[in-house]
Amino acid sequence: MHNPYEILELATDCNDQQARRSYLDKIKEFPPEHFPEHFREINEAYELVKSQEGRFNYQLMDKDPGAASPIDTLRQPQTLAGFRQPPSLPTMREYLKQCMKDR
C-alpha cells in the first residue's frame, strides 16, 4: 500500500485539521469520476491519518513494505496519476540518448 502521508502530501507531525485540509484538496484535485483509483487511495490514506490515534498507530505499527521490490518503490507512486512527474529537460535528453543508444 502507498504511504498515506505521501498520498496526502502531509508531514508526519501534522494535526487533524491539516490532514482534513489536505484530504479535501486532494479529492478536489482528483475527483472520483476522473481518477477512481486515486480517489480510493486518497480515502484509504485519510482513514489512516485522520486522527492522532490513527497517525501514531500507523507510525508504530506499519509493517507493509509498500512495494514488491526496490524498483517497485520507484514504480509505486507512478501507478497513481497524481504522482507522475516528468523528468527535467536534461534528464529527458539523457533518457532519449540512452534509448537511442540501445535501439
Q: Which is nearer to another protein, 20 or 82 (CB)?
A: 82
Spatial contact of 11 and 55, defined as CB atoms under 8 Å apart: no
C-alpha 38/C-alpha 35 separation (Å) is 5
- Look-up of cell digits 540501445: 102
CA 40 to chain centre: 12
Say whether residue 28 binds another protein (CB under 8 A): no
Say whether residue 98 binds another protein (CB under 8 A): yes
Cα separations in angstroms, 58 against 63, 64, 100: 9, 10, 44
Q: Which is nearer to another protein, 24 or 73 (CB)?
A: 73
Give the interface segment with another protein, choosing from 19-27, 39-47, 64-72 (CB under 8 A).
Answer: 64-72
Site residues (vs another protein, CB under 8 A):
3, 6, 13, 34-35, 38, 52-53, 56-57, 59-67, 69-79, 81-82, 84, 86-89, 91-103
